[in-house]
Amino acid sequence: MKTTALFVLFMVFSISLFAENGHDLWLRSKSTGKINVICKKTSPTLTIAIQELQKGWQGKDNATITLTLKSDKALKKDGFKFNKDEIQAGTESGILYGVYELLRRQQTGEPVEEKIYNPSYEIRTLNHWDNPDGSIERGYAGKSIFWRNGDNSMTVTDKDKDLWQEYARANASVGLNGAVLNNVNASPLMLSKEYLERVKAIAEVLRPYGIKTFLSVKFSSPSQIGKLKTSDPLDPEVIKWWNDKVKEIYSIIPDFGGFLVKASSEGQPGPQDYERSHADGANMMADAFKPFGGIVMWRAFVYSPNDKDRARQAYTEFMPLDGKFRDNVIIQVKNGPVDFQPREPFSPLFGAMKKTSLMPEFQITQEYLGQAIHMVFLGPMWEECLKSDTYQEGPGSTVGRSTDGSIYPQKHTAIAGVSNIGLDTNWCGHQMAQANWYAFGRLAWNNTLTSEKIADEWIKLTFGPVKPGQTGSLGFSNDWTEHFLVPVKKMILESREAAVNYMMPLGFHHIFSANNHYGPGPWYAPKGVRADWTPPYYHKADTLGVGFDRTHAGTDAVSQYHEPLASQFNDLKTCPEIYLLWFHHLPWDYKVSSGRTLWDEICYSYEKGLNQVRDFQKTWDKVEPYVDKERFENIRSKLKNQCRNAQVWKDACTLYFQQFSRRPIPYDIERPVYELNDLISSEVKRR
Q: What is the pLDDT of residues 201-242, one digit of tens each?
A: 999 999 999 999 999 999 999 999 999 999 999 999 999 999
Band of pLDDT at residue 11, cut at 50, 70 and 90: very low
- With respect to residue 569, please indicate whether it lies within any of the assigned structural domains: no
One domain, residues 57 and 139: no
- Region of poorest pLDDT, from 177-191, 331-345, 510-524: 510-524
- With respect to residue 43, please indicate whether it lies within any of the assigned structural domains: yes
One domain, residues 71 and 213: no
Task: Name the percent of the chain lying above pLDDT 70.
Answer: 95
What is the domain extent for residue 106? 23-118
Structurally, how many domains does the chain consist of?
3
One of 309, 367, 600, 651 is an active-site residue; which one?
367
CB atoms within 10 A of CB 553: 10
Q: Is 194 annotated in the active site?
A: no
Q: Is 344 annotated in the active site?
A: no
- Region of poorest pLDDT, from 172-186, 315-329, 524-538, 636-650: 524-538
Report the mean per-residue pLDDT for the chain.
Answer: 94
> Using alpha carbons only, what angle is made at residue 508 by residues 505 and 511, rounded to the nearest 5 degrees?
115
One domain, residues 325 and 428: yes
Of 5 and 174, more confident: 174
- With respect to residue 301, please indicate whether it lies within any of the assigned structural domains: yes
Are the beta carbons of 80 and 95 closer than 8 angstroms?
yes
Residue after which a domain boundary falls, among 86, 118, 150: 118
d(CA 555, CA 313): 11
- With respect to residue 217, please indicate whether it lies within any of the assigned structural domains: yes
Q: Residue 372: pLDDT above 90?
A: yes
One domain, residues 288 and 345: yes
DSSP 394: B
Q: Is 651 annotated in the active site?
A: no
One domain, residues 113 and 181: no
- With respect to residue 2, please indicate whether it lies within any of the assigned structural domains: no
Are the beta carbons of 547 and 590 closer than 8 angstroms?
no
Are the beta carbons of 268 and 262 closer than 8 angstroms?
yes
One domain, residues 392 and 308: yes
One domain, residues 444 and 295: yes
- With respect to residue 13, please indicate whether it lies within any of the assigned structural domains: no
- With respect to residue 561, please indicate whether it lies within any of the assigned structural domains: no
Q: What is the pLDDT of residues 88-106, one digit of tens each?
A: 999 999 999 999 999 999 9
Q: What is the pLDDT of residues 576-591, one digit of tens each?
A: 999 999 999 999 999 9
**Is 493 in a helix, a strand, or coil?**
helix
- Region of poorest pLDDT, from 69-73, 119-123, 305-309, 440-444: 305-309
One of 162, 266, 542, 571 is an active-site residue; which one?
266
Q: Residue 172: pLDDT above 70?
A: yes
Can you give the CATH number for the domain in which 268 is found? Answer: 3.20.20.80
User: Per DSSP, what are the bridge partners of residue 414?
Assistant: 123
Contacts of 105 (CB under 8 A, 6+ apart): 111, 112
One domain, residues 392 and 512: no
One domain, residues 237 and 378: yes
pLDDT at residue number 12:
42
d(CA 529, CA 634): 38
pLDDT at residue number 32:
84
pLDDT at residue number 308:
87
Q: Residue 301: pLDDT above 70?
A: yes
**Whole-prediction pTM:** 0.95
pLDDT at residue number 579:
98
Q: Residue 467: pLDDT above 70?
A: no
Can you give the CATH number for the domain in which 645 is found? Answer: 3.90.1330.10
Kindly give the pairing relationship between strand 80-83 and strand 116-117.
Answer: antiparallel
One domain, residues 109 and 134: no
Can you give the CATH number for the domain in which 36 is found? Answer: 3.30.379.10
One domain, residues 100 and 131: no
- Please give the radius of gyration of the chain, using alpha carbons only, rounded to the nearest integer: 26
- With respect to residue 469, please indicate whether it lies within any of the assigned structural domains: no
One domain, residues 137 and 179: yes
Residue after which a domain boundary falls, among 101, 118, 135: 118
Asked if omega into 342 is within 30° of 0 (cis), the reply is no
Residue after which a domain boundary falls, among 85, 118, 151: 118
Q: What is the pLDDT of residues 56-66, one digit of tens each?
A: 999 999 999 99
One of 24, 339, 577, 628 is an active-site residue; which one?
339
